Chains A and B, each alone.
Chain A
């Protein structure tokens, strides 16, 4: 018995120029906020952008963008709806706001299902909002989507960065392209994270200061794009991502 789904994934990604996973070994470091903001800002520049929420048990991008009352269309698969000029996909289209307890095998299966039936069409870039950790989703994606690249998010805390360091080494071992590291919610001027990142041979992309206005922007894309947080992502991060 053979699971046919993985065979078709290359085809589904054929017309997507770049696939960038916003990832971290740690949770709560700002992956979802950064992934959503990158996607929205790139779309504003006229690029064709997709955003795929892969944090199946705790999705947040729909909350950040205030997505409501929208469903994908069916056309030779599932066609992601256009949300704020993004081709947008999330499991919440099917699970709603209900708790969805998933074990590893279920997460792998849900991922495989969505990768094989979602018809993204032509995209300049697909941004993946990743779940925390070095688990099933990260490993499955590395196996299934050969063109994947990573942007790694840490905070200034050693508790985040020590895990991120392990993640960086793992990605190097797996020969996966890592664009670099973002230091988010920075509150001091200490350059420790930058120094250590560069010592490991990775690019320190930017730091993003703690932005008090950010929480108030949740659910409102225009507000989010007007924050200092979004401005830094636009001016420092997107350029270094080569877009």
Chain B
């Protein structure tokens, strides 16, 4: 249920944007979740349902999935993160703080833990639409 805290961040961030843009209503929110964090979609959507204020009365929430691309700082190899290669406890640790991947994941070519999370890390607000 730690996704609830992230859902709340999305609601607060979207509300802030709405206030800045003078939106009376938010009609659509698109978020992107990176594979690395393995966020559970249903829990995020459940969080939105519980947290939404009047501003979100008629909001359609969409969740898009993004692959996680990692790039080795040592040998420049790029590869996709695959949760399947990890045991459950490790996957869960990365779920809470994606950066701890640096303790568990190594470059498939040279074995270095010094890699960049190029894309698909956590949760992003991709787009919001509303009416003034």
Contacts and interface: CB of A to CB of B under 8 A. Distances in A.
Given A95-B100, A100-B100, A5 B9 contact: yes
A109 B99 contact: yes
Interface string A1-17: 11111011001000000
A76 to B, nearest CB: 4
Interface size class on chain B is 35 or more
Contacts of B126: 1
Contacts of A95: 93, 100, 103
Interface string A81-92: 000000000010
A102 to B, nearest CB: 6
Nearest to A119: B5
Contact of B123 (A4, A91, A93, A99): A4
B13 interface: yes
Contact of B5 (A99, A110, A116): A116
A8 B8 contact: yes
A75 B17 CA distance: 27
Interface string A62-90: 00000000000011111000000000000
Contacts of B17: 2
A113 B113 contact: no
A78 B93 contact: no
Contacts of A94: 93-94, 96-97, 100
Interface of A: 1-5, 7-8, 11, 56, 74-78, 91, 93-96, 98-103, 105-107, 109-110, 113-114, 116-117, 119
Interface of B: 1-2, 4-6, 8-10, 12-14, 16-17, 31-32, 73, 93-94, 96-100, 102-104, 113-114, 116-117, 121-126
